[in-house]
Structure 1
Amino acid sequence: MDVSVRNLKNHLSEYLRRAAAGEDIRVTSHGRVIAHLTAANAQLETDEVFIERLDALSWMNPPEAPGGKPQGASVPSPARPDTPNTDDLMDWIRG
């Protein structure tokens, strides 16, 4: 559920109860998501699990060398055509 900062401030107790009950509250400012409210006891994903989920994506390629660039290159490789961009990846992460 999306809620504006103003609405969150005006009804904070209600949204905290909803978050504690397990609802994911996305806080927006000018239409952009700026924060998430979740239950404190919600289990967070470990880095290892997150990396496994990323590796399972067909369009994710691990870098060829540390730093995300091919060996000997001074800059990262350009993106392949018709592949998701960073915004697509962030939308996928946010679920």
Structure 2
Amino acid sequence: MRSVGIKVLNSRLSEYVRLAAGGETILVTDRDRVVAEMGPPRATRSPLVADAFLADLVRTGVLTPPLVQATAPPPSQPVAPLTEILRDLDGVRGDR
């Protein structure tokens, strides 16, 4: 575990991010007081940022997941055959 002041972290951020990605925990300090912690993502964390935001919203209670898993809607049937639709469209465009 390492600790780093905000000013040093700001100037060498990529180095500390690489350390955190490698598994090390970094304590961020401001005037010798720990104000944040940087570390590798938890094993259960999705690599996608959108999934992380959604999971955080669910954890804080802002978002409630659906009670029933959604199913795909049934496939729709065409209203008319394509040839009929194209014929009607040509008829409408014939005046232009």
* TM-score normalized with structure 1 length: 0.43
Decide which structure has the larger Cα Rg and report it.
2
* TM-score normalized with structure 2 length: 0.43
More helix by share: 2
